[in-house]
Structure 1
Amino acid sequence: MTTAISSDIYAEHAAIETGSGYRMTYNFGNTPSADSLGSRHITQVYPEDSFSYKKGYGFLTEESRSSDSNLKINEINDGFQPQRWYSDSKLISPQADDNGVYLENGIVDDGYIPITFKAVVPHQGNYKVTLVLSAGDIPIKGITIFSGRRRLESLKGDYCPREVRAYVFNVNVCDIIPQGHNEVYTDKTIDITIIGSRPVFTTLTIEEFDTPTIYITGDSTVADCPACYPYYPESSYSGWGQFFTYYVSNLAAVSNHAHPGLNTENFRTEGHYNIIKKNIKRGDYCIFQFGHNDAKFSHLAADTGYTDNLRTFIDEVRSFGATPIIVTPLAGNTWNSDKTAYDDTMLSYADACKKISAEKHVPIIDLHQVSMDFIKRVGSSDAARYFYPGDCMNTNDFGAYLMSGFIAKEIKRIHDICPIPIRTSLCGKVYDPVMNLKRPMTMEELMESDDFVPPMHIHEAKEPQKK
C-alpha cells in the first residue's frame, strides 16, 4: 500500500532534539521572551504565522487550508472545516497581546470559531503536551481544548481576568487511512485547538513521552468525526472514541482508527489494522467495537463471521503483548412506530461479544446495555438530543461525551482486569442510570447536574441572509 504523504514534506525544523528526545516550546505573542532569543528549543510564534509544512508550525486559517490540499483532509488535521458559505472568509484572524495569540471574537452566528495551532514533530509516537493559557484583562468563557482531529482534552473552562492555567495531556502521532481514501497517510504533526469566547494561546511545549497507547477500532459510532465552524456541538457528528481522551489520564495516549462503514472484515482488508499491528507493543491496549456494519452482511452474522473475526483479533493483539478489550455495540435510539416500545437492533451482536469475552477471558465493556438503559429511561424525544439530528444511531458531541463517560466509568469498575489509566476525578460527573441510582433520572435534573448537556432546541447551521 502506498503512502500518500512523503516524509520529506516535513520541515527540517522538526529534527531538533535534546539528548533525552525531542522537545520544543512555542511562545505566543508579539514580544519574544528572553529565553527564546538564540534558543533552538524555543520558537516565537506571531499571529501572522500560518501553518505550512516547510515552516513546520503555525495557525490553520481559511487561507492556509485553501493553499494546501493536505490541510483539507480532516484525519491528518484538526477535524474542523469552515461552513461552505464561510470558506472564502477570514473568520480565523489571530491577533496578539502580552498574553499570547488569540481570536478577538470566538463566537460567530452563536457558534464557536476554533483557533488551531499545528506543529510538525520528528517522529511518530506519543508526546506530552503542556499548554498554558492566560486570560489577560478580559474574562473568558467556555474554553474547550481539542487535540488532533477534534479529540476532547478539556471542557468548558471559565477564566477570571488575569487567570493563568496549565493543561497537560498526551497526544499520539500515527499513520492513518482517511475516510474516502485508500492510501496510508503519514502524519507527523500535532494539532491543538481551542474554542471559547476569546480563545488564546500563551505557551505550548511538546516533548516525546514513553507511555502506553490505547488503540481504538470500530465504526462511525466510535470514530473521530469532523465538524464545521461556526461549531455547534449538537449538530456535529462524533463517535465516543473522539471524546474518550477526556477521561484518559496523562499516563496513556489514544490512537483512534475507527471509521464510518467499517466492520470486522474490512477493518483488516482495507489496511487499517495493519497500521495498528505496525505500532502496537507490549503494555498497550486495543479496544474493539464493531457490529453495526457487520449486521449488513450475512457472512458477518453475530454467531459466525463476526465472532470468528473478533477471536482472531484477540489472539493477534495478545501475541504482541497487548491487552484486547471488547465493547458491545452502542444502542441506537430505535423504537417502534409509535415510540412506545424500544426496538433492540443490536442484541445478537452484544450477546456474541459477551460469549467471546467469557470464552477468551477478555475484558468487556457493555456499552450496549448502559446506553440502552439511558435511552429507555429518558425516552425517545430526549434521547434524540444526544444523537445527530435525524439520525437514530450516530451520536452528536453531547452523546459522544456521555457514552465515553459510561465507558470510562465501567473501566474504572473493572480496573483489576482492565488497568487503562482513567482520570477518576472526572468519573463522578458521568450520569450512570445503572450503576449509580442516586444520580438524577429526569432530563431536567440531568441538565442541572451535568456540565455538558444538549440544548432543548437544536441549532441548525444556515447561511446568513445577504444584506
Structure 2
Amino acid sequence: MTFQFDFGPEGVAGEGYRKVTPADSYDSERGYGFVKGSQVSAVRRSGEPLVGDFCIPFDATFVVDVPDGNYIVDLSLSDELAPTHTSLKTNGERLILKDRRTIQGQIVWEKFAVNVRGGKLKLSFGGLAPRLNALRIAHSPELITLFLAGDSTVTDPRDGIFPQSGWGQMLPYYFKHDVAVANHAVGGRSSKSFIGEGRLDAIKEEIKEGDFLFIQFGHNDQKPDEARFTDPETTYKEYLKRYVDAARSANATPVLITSVQRRFFDEAGKLKDTHGAYLDAVRELAQEEGVALIDLAEKSKRLYEELGPEETKKLLLWGEPGEWLNYSSGVQDNTHFQEYGSLRIAELVVQGIRELNLMPLTMYLR
C-alpha cells in the first residue's frame, strides 16, 4: 500500500502521483489535505518532475488517512533558486527534522518511519523557509517497532500544553527509517494503572519478534491512590515484571529504564533524589531477570548537576508570566520538560542504547 503526492500550483502531477495544491484542505471523503488553519502557498520554478514546483507549508499540517501500522515516508524539500529551512513533526508531534537546511538547487529527499494509531498520518511543518515538493508513504509492517510504556515524562504531548514535552516525543529524531517509535506512554499513569487500563494489552496485540519495549515508570507509583500506588519492595517489581514477560512472550526485547529525576537541589547544588527505593527496585529487577537497564535516573542526575539550579530551568517547564501562551500566568514545574529538555533527555536514552550495544537498534541510530 503506497500513497504518492506531488505538491505545487495547479498543473500536471508526476506520473503515479496525485497533485496537491494549497486549496486542497483535508476532506474525509478524499482522505488527505491540509488541515484548517494551515498557511500554505505554492511556487513553480521549472518543469522538472516532482521537484520543479512545491508548496510552502508555513506552520502547516498535511494529513493522510491510512490504516494503522508502520510506514516509511519519503519527502522532498528542495528549491532550485533559494536556500530552505524546514522542521518536521509527525503523529503526536514526534520530532523528525530539526532546522534542516538545503542550499539553492540542492535536491534532498528525507526518509523516516512513522507508527500510526488512529488512522491518520500527520506531517506538521515548521521552519523559516519550509518546502514540500513530493511525498511518498509506503506501508512497511516489517519495520522494527520500538514501543514505549511510561508516564508524562515519556509521552507525546496533548494539544494545548505546548511547550510541555516527553522524551519519547523526541526519540524518532535519533533513528533512521528502519525503526518506528510507538509511544504508548500516557501522563499520570503508574506501572499498575497502565496495565489496569488495558494499555499493556494493546502493546501485546502489536508487538512482534525483533521489536523492543522500553519501560519507564515510578513517578506515579509513589502516588497514594489505590489505582496507582505500588510498593517498591513488592508490587512495583511485580508489575514491572509483567511488562518484561509481555515482551519476551513475543520474542521482543524488554529494556527497563529508571525514572528520570525531578529538578530539586539542595543548598550545595546537589540533586535531591525523590524516587528512593523505586530506583533500586528497577535496578534489582534488571539484574534478577537479566534485562537490559538504562539508568536514566543516574544520567539525568549528572546532567542536572552539571547544569546547576538555574540552567536546568531551561530543560523543565519553567516560564515567566506571558512567556508561554498555554501558561500565561507563568509556570514552575520541576517534573515535566519543555521541548529542549525532552530532546536532551532523549539523547541520554540514546546514549544508553549505545552503551548497551542494543542490536540492531544501535545500527539504526543517526
TM-score range, shorter chain: 0.7 to 0.9
Per-residue deviation, 1:161: 2.6
Match of 2:296 among 352, 367, 377: 367
Q: Which residue of 1 aligns with 2:116?
A: 173
Q: TM-score, normalised by structure 2?
A: 0.88
- 1:225 pairs with one of 124, 133, 157: 157
> SS in structure 2 opposite 1:196?
strand
Q: 1:245 to 1:151 in 2, by over 3 A?
A: same
Letter aligned with residue 117 of structure 1: F
1:27·1:33 contact (CA, 8 Å) conserved in 2?
no
**CA-to-partner distance for each residue in 1:60-117, whole Å, 9 max, x for gaps?**
123xxxxxxxxxxxxxxxxxxxxxxxxxxxxx331111231114xx4xxxxxxx2111
Q: Which one of the candidate residues 341, 346, 353 is aligned to 1:411? A: 353
Output the CA distance in 1 between the equivalents of 2:294 and 2:158.
Answer: 26
- What is the aligned partner in structure 1 of residue 339 from structure 2? 397
* Partner SS state of residue 326, structure 1: strand
Give the aligned partner of residue 23 of structure 1. Answer: 2
Match of 2:48 in 1: none
For residue 256 of structure 2, what is the amino acid of its counterpart?
I
Matched, 1:386 2:315: yes
Which residue of the partner structure matches residue 270 of structure 1? 197
Q: Which amino acid aligns with 1:168?
A: K
Question: TM-score, normalization: structure 1?
Answer: 0.70
Q: Are the aligned partners of 1:248 and 1:421 in contact in 2 as well (CA < 8 Å)? A: no
The aligned residue for residue 212 of structure 1 is 144
- Aligned partner of 2:283 in structure 1 is 354
Question: Offset at 1:46?
Answer: 1.0
C-alpha contact (below 8 Å) 1:119/1:190 kept by paired residues: yes
Which residue pairs with 2:216 in the alignment? 289
TM superposition shift of 1:392: 0.6
Between the aligned partners of 1:281 and 1:227, the Cα distance in structure 2 is 31
1:347 & 1:246 partners in 2: Cα distance?
Answer: 31
Of all paired residues, the percent bearing the same amino acid is: 28
Report the Cα distance in structure 1 between the residues aligned to 2:199 and 2:126, rounded to whole angstroms: 31
Matched-pair contact (CA < 8 Å) for 1:363–1:418:
no
Aligned partner of 1:196 in structure 2 is: 127
Residue 317 (structure 1) shift: 1.8
Please state whether the residue corresponding to 2:64 is helix, strand or coil: strand
Q: Following superposition of structure 1 onto structure 2, how do residues 54-453 of structure 1 map, counting pairs within 5 Å?
A: 54-62=29-37, 92-98=38-44, 99-103=53-57, 106=58, 114-121=59-66, 123-141=67-85, 143-174=86-117, 187-209=118-140, 210-226=142-158, 236-297=163-224, 299-336=229-266, 338=267, 340-389=269-318, 390-415=332-357, 417=358, 419-421=360-362, 423-424=364-365, 426=366
| Map 1:33-48 → 2, pairs under 5 A | 33=12, 35-36=14-15, 39=16, 42-48=17-23
Q: Specify the SS of the correspondent of 2:77.
A: strand
Q: 1:51 to 1:215 in 2, by over 3 A?
A: same
Cα distance, 1:162 vs structure 2: 3.0
Q: Name the one with the larger strand percent.
A: 2
Distance of 1:423 and 1:313 partners within structure 2: 24
Question: Cα deviations across residues 328-367 of structure 1 (Å, max 9, x unaligned)?
Answer: 100111124x574421102322211110000000011111
Is contact 2:84-2:131 (8 Å) kept? Answer: no
Q: Secondary structure of 2:76's partner?
A: strand
Q: Is the Cα–Cα contact under 8 Å of residues 58 and 119 in structure 1 kept in the other structure?
A: yes
Amino acid at match of 1:216: L
Aligned 8 A contact 1:102 1:198 in 2: yes
C-alpha RMSD of the superposition: 1.9
Runs of 4+ in 1 over 6 A off after TM superposition: none
Counterpart-to-counterpart distance in 2, 1:165 and 1:379:
40
- Which amino acid is 1:206 matched to? I
Task: Give me the whole-angstrom Cα distance separating, in 2, the residues matched to 1:132 and 1:273.
Answer: 37
Distance 1:271-1:372 versus aligned 2 partners, 3 A rule: same
Shift of 1:58: 0.4
The 3-state SS of whatever aligns with 1:395 is strand
* 1:112-150 CA-partner distances (Å, limit 9, x unpaired): xx21111012x3211110011113433333x21111111
Q: Would the alpha carbon gap of residues 222 and 422 (structure 1) be closer, same or farther in structure 2, given more than 3 Å must change?
A: farther
